[in-house]
Amino acid sequence: MSNITEFDKISIVDLIIEYYPELKKNRTNIIKLVLQQITRPNKLILEKVIYENKTYYKYNDGILIDDKLNTCGMIINDKIIITRTGNRYDEHIKKLKEIEDKLH
């Protein structure tokens, strides 16, 4: 990785604005965006949570997903709330089949 300094990045933004003057009004926002890319890696980091012998992964905002990337609950005030368990599609189809069988 090259050793481009923050000053170099600002200079590059200014050079781009020189060629595209319509961007001048957004200069501050562009510089903030460029500089934040250094401090904020473009990675999603999830926390592993084991609850009732099942593994979940927690986003920073508390949303829980399972290993198949299905949203299944949340953590609020350090309390785990599981709202979806199992394969909801299969459960739904099973219920519909049960209803259909009762009607015939």
0.75 exceeded by pTM? no
Residue 1, pLDDT score: 43
Amino acid identity at 22: E
Strands of the sheet containing 79-82, edge to edge, are: 47-51, 54-58, 63-65, 71-76, 79-82
User: Which regions in the chain score pLDDT beneath 70?
Assistant: 1-4, 37-43, 84-88
Find the angle CA(17)-CA(19)-CA(24) to the nearest 5 degrees.
25
Q: How far apart are CA 92 and CA 100, in angstroms?
A: 12
